[in-house]
Chain A
């Protein structure tokens, strides 16, 4: 029997020229089910209470965080490409010897990701104080990381290695500073989580939003952890 499946280019041409709604197949965050003409958004606003439902209203924090991370990632990508190009563009590239204390930084920030995950798991548990306690531990580890980074700087400065000393040290100071500033933002966000009044449990929207905010901050922190691991490899193993 002859297959009736149209050729690939025919499908593409139809996609572009056809007049049938494409929205029956889902695109991006598009509708799953229901809605007018059965291809509308699943959200119930417009009917019912007249404002977006809980999940989608809270989801914006997670979406927003991923979008923000894309742009942060782009910045570090640009700096990395500069690093690689600069390393190859002249013969004045003298890689630093890895200061031992950087290993401490790395260990601290890896552990902090785990403690933050523990805090997030305890988020719903309003009886015990586990959430806040793990948050505090995470913050302490984060501050420890920053101090350890500063100590690295001091150690290098004692050896007479400054930002303008050679291209590798320039990138070392720049990348650690850029990462440190972002981590400082993460610490501020953790402090906000810690100090924020817990949402009253009966207000579902507030709870959903609050949970989404906590998720977003957790995502950010994990990202900063991975980013440091990446920079660590870049700075001390790619050179």
Chain B
């Protein structure tokens, strides 16, 4: 549709659109302001709640857990997803259908079923719940997002370099490591960021498969929230939101992300 020919939206449509956006954002903005406010007698602006956060050893421990889980799981998910996407791009092989089916299944499966299925699985094979089970689960749900991101890139990429390389006698491994992977590198990076983001934000699956002492930040927020909302928690939630937003901005800067979404 060309720009000039767009008709004007009626007033009530605009009102609904704006109020929907307001209802999405007012709670978040309220949370951010409250994180910087002193209430009661001495009302004013403060950074005290943030200082409290960084003195809380428990919280720092769960931040560390979140980072360890996020980085390790995205690392492995990126490897698994990249190899799978390249294989899927190169035509037919036995197991292709299964691979596609299972990756789509992991995307559409209700989170709670996903989590409980893994929980029973770990129980049957007597794998003790802890950091390793959390990382395994995160790898499992991130891989499909990596496959999606890279398949999008592979389908619009110019493959003549690879063909030229193969014609000039490069082995398959050489083509892969010297041509395909370097060309894919920006997308691999954004896939890594995306899976880190998803891992960093995950609650439901982590909640079920984690053991004692391996709380990630969302779990920590959840358990403290059950006790009641405090200014310190406002600061924690604000900080988590800010880090997510930073990651998203980093993702948007890598253009491939938009292309994947638009597909």
Chains A and B belong together in one complex: no
Interface on B for A, CB 8 Å cutoff? Answer: none
Interface on A for B, CB 8 Å cutoff? Answer: none
